[in-house]
Structure 1
Amino acid sequence: MIDDLDTPVLDNHLHLDPRHGQGIDAVEEFARLGGTHLLVVNKPSWLLGVEPDEPADFRPVFEETIDVVERATAALPGRAWPVLGVHPGLIDRLVDERGFTPAAARDLMQGGMEVASEFVADGEALALKSGRPHYDVSDAIWEASNAVTRRAFELGAERDCAVQLHTEATEDLTDLAAVAEEAGLDPARVVKHYAAGELAGPTPSVMSDKDRLERAAESGESFLMETDFVDDPDRPGMVLGPKTVPRRVRWLLEEGYDEAVRRAHVQTPAAVYGIDTEATLE
């Protein structure tokens, strides 16, 4: 940590691509600005050259993410953790480009989630990632995507881990919170990535622009902070850069939101993921 930022600083959702992007250089930028902890989500399988035919085909995607997380931890004053799963956008590729039926795509993606959950069970990953498309799709694909998400919740309950969600833009996900509860997973351990400042249902992982963060801080509710950094040189302006979360933490402290910073970077990570961002600092 730099001297004037005396708090853990967690980016709850970003991607690292040492093959094509900044990789560990991005981690070092994050750390130089005061960042301490990262939750690194595997990139979509097709961006790593994997076009799966069976669940085991996802394994190299997860293993590559675990490898880069180990290297990220070595570059941080705290540590990084992997979040593994199947990107919901895969269903379009399977159905539209590869001739899968929605039911066959559902089965393959559920199988991929089961493989991801094995890494959680073995202590190699912290949480799962699933969800549904954020754009209009057919009823059959919507139903299949919701079935994949339900399976992710079941696996989260079985493995006692959180589930990050990629979904449509909304401030009300009480429908998925109810599904999680039915599956035996506490809805507070369901995290909507790319969230606005407030959210009904799951825990919001708030995109770190000032307006959203101010709403989250004022709400008094649990929240996390993220950039969704994609680490793709072909999309350099896509979402937020790795320096953003530490910069926004500094801004929140300057604005007097000390309690909100502690909520986002100490209390909520402990409640959702069972991690201690203070004890894991050097």
Structure 2
Amino acid sequence: MDIDETPVLDNHLHLDPVQGRNTEAVAEFADHGGTHLLVLNKPSWHLVEAATDEGTFREVFDLTVGAVADATEVLPGRAWPVLGVHPALVSKLVEDGYSPGEARDIMQRGLDVASEYVRDGPALAIKSGRPHYDVDDAVWDASNEVMCHAFELAAEGDFAVQLHTEGGEEFEDVAEWAEERGMDRRQVVKHYSGGRLQGPTKSVLADKDELLVAIEDGEPFLMETDYIDDPERPGAVLGPKTVPRRVRWLLQEGEESAVRTAHVETPREVYGIDTEATLDR
């Protein structure tokens, strides 16, 4: 199989329509064989300011929805927005004088707004999680309450949640929290995952070694770059060419089945999207 015969989806990439490369990065992805993108809004303070109200969340989400529409114009497939609240917002708010409980309430309202964008059409899923760095117990508890609120919204609306969390392989408790609130654990996606993961669906950073681990593990997985579209950090975390390059490599290694898992079957199971039907080369 050649790369031109398969969809190529980057499951977690950022675009910055304010000061980033934006559509130029999308064109680079497409030029190397990429076809589909899930575009996550950048943290609110990177685009506008640290969000404290519904209006700021909507401004950030609208910027990303517009960037996704522009991206779709240059892709042979299409892009979808994934909108939500970066878990580090809790620290920004606490530093600005809000209590952890007040920060929780602001962030949960942001997720309410994000879920409206899914229900009303432009967005595919929402994003939540908890800090990937050490915080005190009150902030940790508030963050888990925010994440569980995301699960409640996703269960009610029947859509997926991408998670930004600390590293590790054991997230069975998180998957159980989602199930307790009515979600299918397959629709809980841990972004920036390694090749092994217990609990949610893994979105594997497109590192060759981790991809081989994921294939050996035999569980459904997605691929991502977590490209952040920051002109001061070009190529961070991975550049937009990376997923297409890894797909070419996997095909050269005879891993056609793994490519289909990551770019056709798992996207369909997790998000309900058809990357083949939406592909027009």
For the aligned pair, the TM-score class normalised by the smaller chain equals: over 0.9
Q: Give how far 1:171 is off.
A: 0.6
Q: Which runs of 4+ in 1 moved over 6 A?
A: none
Counterpart for residue 173 of structure 1: 171
Q: 2:124 aligns with which of 104, 123, 126?
A: 126
Which shows bigger deviation, 56-65 or 189-198? 56-65
Q: Which runs of 5+ in 1 are unaligned?
A: none
* 1:133-161 deviation line (CA, Å, top 9, x unaligned): 00110000000000000000000111110
Which letter maps to 1:86? V
Q: C-alpha distance in 2, partners of 1:55/1:67?
A: 18
8 Å Cα contact 1:50-1:58 kept in structure 2:
no
RMSD across aligned positions (CA): 1.2
The alpha carbon displacement at 1:237 in A equals 4.5
Out of 147, 150, 164, the position equivalent to 1:149 is: 147
Distance 1:179 1:260 in 2: 29
Name the structure 2 match of 1:113: 111
Q: Equivalent residue for 2:78?
A: 79
- 1:212-269 per-residue CA deviation (whole Å, 9 max, x = no partner) reads 0011112211000000000001122521000000000000111111100000000000
- Out of 233, 236, 251, the position equivalent to 2:231 is 233
2:17 and 2:64 in contact (8 A); partners too: no
Counterpart in the other structure of 1:17: 16
2:18 aligns to what SS in structure 1?
Answer: coil
TM-superposed deviation, 1:21 = 1.2
Q: 1:136 aligns with which of 110, 134, 145?
A: 134
> Whole-Å Cα distance in 1 between the matches of residues 247 and 5 of structure 2?
10
Quickly say closer, same or farther: Cα 1:4–1:260, change in 2 above 3 A. closer
Q: Which residue pairs with 2:46 in the alignment? A: 47
Structure-2 separation of matches of 1:76 and 1:247: 16
TM-score, length-scaled by structure 2: 0.98
DSSP-derived class of the 1:5 partner:
helix
Maintained 8 Å contact 2:26/2:71: yes
Aligned length: 280
Give unpaired runs (5+ residues) of structure 2.
none
Offset of residue 50 of structure 1: 2.3
For residue 276 of structure 1, what is the aligned residue in structure 2?
A: 274
- 1:90 aligned to 2:93? no
Task: Indicate the percent of aligned positions where both proteins have the same amino acid.
Answer: 64
Q: Deviations over 1:45-95 (max 9, x none)?
A: 000122323233210000110000000001000000000000000011100
CA contact (8 A) 2:14 2:42 kept: yes
Between the aligned partners of 2:158 and 2:278, the Cα distance in structure 1 is 21
Match of 2:222 in 1: 224
Cα pair distance change 1:249/1:129, threshold 3 Å? same
Deviation at 1:10, TM superposition (A): 0.0
User: 2:37 is paired with a residue of what secondary structure?
Assistant: strand
Check whether the contact 2:57–2:110 (CA below 8 A) recurs between aligned residues.
yes
The aligned counterpart of 2:205 is 207
Cα distance in 2 between the residues matched to 1:6 and 1:149: 38
